[in-house]
Chains A and B, each alone.
Chain A
Amino acid sequence: MNIDELKDAWNKDDSGDMRLHLDTASLNKTTSVLGRLRKNMKAELISLLMSYVMIFAVLFWNVRSPLFFNITVVLLFSSLVITVFYFFRFYVFYKSIGRYDLSIANSIRKITYELELNTEIYKTYSFSAIPLSVLTALALIASKIRFDHLNNAIFTNSSLLPFGVMLYILATILLSFIITYVCINFHVRTSYGKYLTDLKQVTNDLGELS
């Protein structure tokens, strides 16, 4: 048997066990990683918008500490600006990704590069936004509940925060950054790491040919 002799059987093969279901509905369904990535990002945006609405509702409900209310508003708007900026970047990316009409080498290199770039942007976004959100949440809680030690520290007669409180604030910020960094890296590696490795392998295989 010669591989070229197989071509007759290949041409005759009608793959009778497969069926093509062609309808408009099936044109909107996707099961690929890129498709899931788009869906995940959409779900993330919706849940973020909902959480902003809830935070604003809670913020204006029964304000007890004007100072912490003002701090919360500043932090909230800062995180909102960061979120809008990054999600705009993601939107532009997901609109452009997956152009398959180029040559295979160019398409795969483009997808690999863009996916890697955007996972890094996603990490950067999370790294900058989540600790800010943690601080916003703490300020929000503080605006509802009178934290005597924090209030005393801020409204105390001395002009500087006590050393212990400064250490406490530093530890809280540091911890939120560390937890965010570990969680985001784990999330990206488990969700898209294998896919990226696979694409890089294809790129290497193509590189050997060119």
Chain B
Amino acid sequence: MNSKETEFLKQINDNKGILFKICKIYQDDTEDRNDLLQEMTLQLWLAFDSFRGESKFSSWMYRIALNTAIAFFKKQKRRPDDQNLPYDFDKAEEISRAGEEEEKLAMFYKAVQQLNKVEKALIYLYMENQSHEEIATHLGITPVNARVRLSRIKDKLKEITKKMNYEYR
């Protein structure tokens, strides 16, 4: 293994949380998440030469990983983006055993599955504490649009969770 590979694998390992969360936002099936994880790793490796250290590795990684997640499309039996989530949450029992925070987060991940791919990118970057300016730069939109759209997404998530019999203010 050469130094480039070693450096790449170290950086990926240090920032793997970014990839894991993007997988959970974009795919709700374990197999699809693993496939997306592999594809993101591959695309990051292919693009690694373009990383010149001018920005933080994590910022560069957001862009590549999100682009990959948006362009990722598998032949699958069902597509979460196109489906309405059943109101009876299928993992309710599992979640009730977890702590309240984890319960809320699991509900959030489930609700996010009903957003479209662009909305997922916006809410992901927001959760990662990116500013409106940073979100706008990553997406190639204006900061004002990023702010307005985020506000709408929050309202949309509120509606979704209400339908899931879960109050989400």
Contacts and interface: CB of A to CB of B under 8 A. Distances in A.
A196 B108 CA distance: 29
A143 to B, nearest CB: 43
A17 B108 CA distance: 17
A98 B30 CA distance: 25
Given A6-B108, A199-B71, A209 B141 contact: yes
B141 A30 contact: no
Interface stretch (A50-58, A83-91, A105-113, A147-155): A105-113
A90 to B, nearest CB: 18
Contacts of B23: 15, 18
Interface stretch (A20-28, A156-164, A167-175): A20-28
A205 B63 CA distance: 17
A205 B47 contact: no
B71 A32 contact: yes
A206 B116 contact: no
A206 B157 contact: no
A205 B118 contact: yes
Contacts of A2: 169
A81 interface: no
A103 interface: yes
Main secondary structure of the interface of A (DSSP, over half): helix
A20 B73 contact: no
B127 A206 contact: no
Nearest to A107: B67
Interface string B100-116: 01101100100000001
A145 interface: no
B126 to A, nearest CB: 8
Q: Range of interface residues on chain B?
A: 35 or more
A201 B116 CA distance: 9
A2 to B, nearest CB: 6
B37 interface: yes
Interface of B: 1, 5, 9, 12-13, 16-17, 19-21, 23-24, 30, 33-35, 37-39, 41-43, 45-47, 50-51, 60, 63-64, 66-68, 70-74, 101-102, 104-105, 108, 116-119, 121, 127, 129, 137-142, 145-146, 149, 154, 157, 167-169
16 contacts: A2-B169, A3-B157, A7-B127, A9-B105, A13-B21, A18-B37, A22-B9, A26-B42, A35-B42, A101-B51, A205-B118, A206-B118, A209-B139, A209-B141, A209-B142, A210-B140
Given A27-B42, A29-B38, 18 more contacts: A3-B168, A15-B24, A17-B30, A18-B24, A29-B42, A31-B35, A34-B71, A98-B43, A100-B64, A100-B71, A101-B51, A102-B63, A102-B67, A105-B140, A194-B73, A202-B116, A205-B116, A206-B140
